[in-house]
Amino acid sequence: MLKIPTLKLTQLAASCAVSLSLLQMVGCTSAQLPTSSNENSRAEQKVSKPAELSFALTEGKALNQFYRNDEIATHSILTGGHNPRLIVAFAADNSGTGLWFEPTSQDVSWTEDPNRSGVIEQDENGHTLRGVRWQTQSNASELTVKMPVLSNIRILRDYLWTEKVPETIVNQQTIEKDTVTWYRERLDNQSAYQLKIKVINGSIAERQGKVVFTADAGKKLAFEITSALANSPLTPIEVDDVLKTERASDYRTQQLLAFLSYEEKLFAGSWRFLTYFGRDTLLSVRLLMPVLSDKTMLAGLGSVLSRVNDAGEVAHEEDLGEFAVIHNHHDGKGKTDQPRFDYKMVDDNYLLAPIFADYIASQSLSDAELSAFLQQTAFNGKTYAEQLKQNLAFVYQSALAYAKDPKFDNLIALKPGSLTGEWRDSHEGLGYGRYPYNINAVFVPAALNAIKTLLQDPIVGPLIGSESFANIEQVYQTWYQQAPLHFKQEVKASTAAESLKVYAKEAAIEPELAQANASDESFYALALMEDGSPVPVIHSDVGFALLFQQPSAQELKLLLKTALKPYPYGLITDAGVLVANPVYANQKTREIFTNHYYHGAVVWSWQQALMLSGVNKQLQRSDLPANIMQQLKTAQTRLYQVVKNTDDIKNSELWTWEYKQGQFEIVPFGQTSGHKSESNAAQLWSTVYLAIPGL
């Protein structure tokens, strides 16, 4: 049996429950992350000690426990049911530890320990391991460890779906009386991972090479769990600093947002996405803009500008920690944890300009503050102003082909060989379409319009220069007027009636829901296929048009008509606003847009907020006729009610539903057989309700 090095333990703090928040969660940094003015090592700065955060959240069969104290930030997930699992995710280097147990005949459950505490352990290899300790009880009489996985979260995610880990990742296992410990050094020997399970009411044995925990007779199986790893802490933004003013009515969400917010960057979601995501950051700061502090706003925008590449593209995600080590080594760069940025997404390239322009228009910053921000330097040594100019030039150049010849194949497509390129980033998310509605009908025109605005700004304009953007008005007008027309769909009443009847049966909802008088319908297709044919799926991305554009009265009528109808005609259910409805699609397409698919007929929390924020924005206009204003008010009332129905789960990434006895009931996503992915319990862009009045 292999032994791990003896550890010298120092208890950091005992601690406890600071609020019922939805907090801790993400992060990710690398010890060798390039230094810039907006991303320095926490160790190099003198900062006051942050307040401790500790809370728990139960979602379905998953007990989520969050803990942050100064340099320690963890999210532990104890999943019950017949496939129990333990994962501890760390807001550092996108790393974690996990235990998968063998399936059980017993329906396993776990108990919460409000007295989580931070620990620091120094091992004999010279690594300072920071982590968390807590206790839990399980009703299981016996649990057999199927696989321990200690590595980057991306490796844990891969194991979740493939049950495979790289052959080079091998744990050292030690069993000593009542304790089993798994330990390993990272492949570059610059970090290490540890997971320690001490049995309180029970015993440990090894059977056929597998660790087995057995409860004492008449007692519940109980554990003390310690998980730790070497990390490079970031600089947290405190609860009191994350917003302009405290949101007392929803302090839980404010705490969550604070946990996700660091001066170096904002994080996307936990447990599966403990990294910077460009799109998630941009959309979150835009939706939160009315209430977000300048400190948090600039942290988000700065992290995006820092990662713009020489072509002007916005980085989607970053590979950190051991995942970066593995891929750098594979590419012949040695065993280095130098971060790797990917640029495979398309939508975020067109989001930076309109969101930056909206922030400038808010006049939150003084001219001096804005100028100082734009003179900060990115990882590549260029100023933020230069990075912004590169992105604006990329937007403009990519729009010229369609402006000269507005045919569908000059629209912006996903990158060659890729099935994903915008927020619906599962392989089936766009119905295998190549030209997304949201990018072409909304984001490109919005970005072009933003360039016009930024060129007029007294601070930004001279820094980006007008010489690179000749004919910007004509290019914008062509996109704004012509691009949406490629996606417009018309359905006759007779076709609608037959489609509704077939779809209601497939979706296992009462036929009566689809027996009202069908009418002629108009809506925008989700995407276009390679040959220009539509993916005729009703979708929630019309919310982007409401938020980023100022549609005509006629356009608003179309945007609101179908999307805000009750399901199965539209997207509205009592369980939330669906992001897709394939009622008018063919059978093959309908099969990949069920309520079991990640981007199917399910509810993504932030899309509800997007729709409501867009409607609220349009209601501020004074140029719309009374009948359109009334439609907007009706939509607003309905959306507020739907959001309030989903208040208990709104901070989650997404959820699905079951139809029972005439009601749509909320079901956590990823905890039922047949679900094609898994939801995060905490998600950055699910905090955006903080900016919506009345919630």
For the beta carbon of residue 166, count every other beta carbon within 10 angstroms.
12
Q: Domain-by-domain residue ranges, the chain?
A: 7-230, 278-315+344-482, 492-691
Residue 307 CA to residue 317 CA, distance in Å, equals 10
pLDDT band at 50 (very low <50, low <70, confident <90, very high): low
pLDDT at 19: 29
CA angle 523–636–692, rounded 5-degree value: 115
pLDDT at 672: 65
pLDDT, tens digit, for every residue of 491-545? 999 999 899 989 998 998 876 666 666 788 999 999 999 999 999 999 999 999 9
Q: Tell me: pLDDT of 361 over 90.
A: yes
pLDDT at 285: 98
443 or 519: which carries more pLDDT confidence? 443
Residue 390 CA to residue 61 CA, distance in Å, equals 47
Task: Provide, rounded to the nearest whole percent, the portion of the chain with pLDDT above 90.
Answer: 75
Q: Tell me: pLDDT of 100 over 50.
A: yes
pLDDT at 82: 95
Report, as an integer, the average pLDDT of 31-43: 36
- Pure H helices in 47-174: 153-162
pLDDT at 4: 32
443 DSSP assignment = I
pLDDT at 89: 94
Q: Tell me: pLDDT of 39 over 50.
A: no
Q: Is 334 exposed, middle or buried (0-12, 13-18, 19+ CB in 10 A)?
A: exposed
Backbone φ and ψ of 356, nearest 5°: -65, -40
pLDDT, tens digit, for every residue of 385-420? 999 999 999 999 999 999 999 999 999 999 999 999
pLDDT, tens digit, for every residue of 550-590? 999 999 999 998 888 999 989 999 999 999 999 999 999 99
pLDDT at 681: 74
In the block, tokens 């599966």 appear at: 272
pLDDT at 516: 61
pLDDT at 240: 87
Q: Tell me: pLDDT of 372 over 50.
A: yes
Backbone φ and ψ of 613, nearest 5°: -65, -40
- What length does the chain have? 695
pLDDT band at 41 (very low <50, low <70, confident <90, very high): very low
In the block, tokens 């501890």 appear at: 88
3 or 132: which carries more pLDDT confidence? 132
The pair of structure tokens assigned to 490 is 């018309």
Helix axes 294-306, 367-374, angle to 10 degrees: 30
Q: Tell me: pLDDT of 23 over 50.
A: no
Q: Tell me: pLDDT of 471 over 60.
A: yes
pLDDT, tens digit, for every residue of 53-84? 888 888 889 999 989 888 898 999 999 999 99
On whether the CB atoms of residues 262 and 237 are closer than 8 A, the answer is: yes
On whether the CB atoms of residues 122 and 10 are closer than 8 A, the answer is: yes
Average pLDDT, the chain: 89
pLDDT, tens digit, for every residue of 203-256? 999 999 999 999 999 899 999 999 999 988 888 888 889 999 877 678 888 888
pLDDT band at 677 (very low <50, low <70, confident <90, very high): low
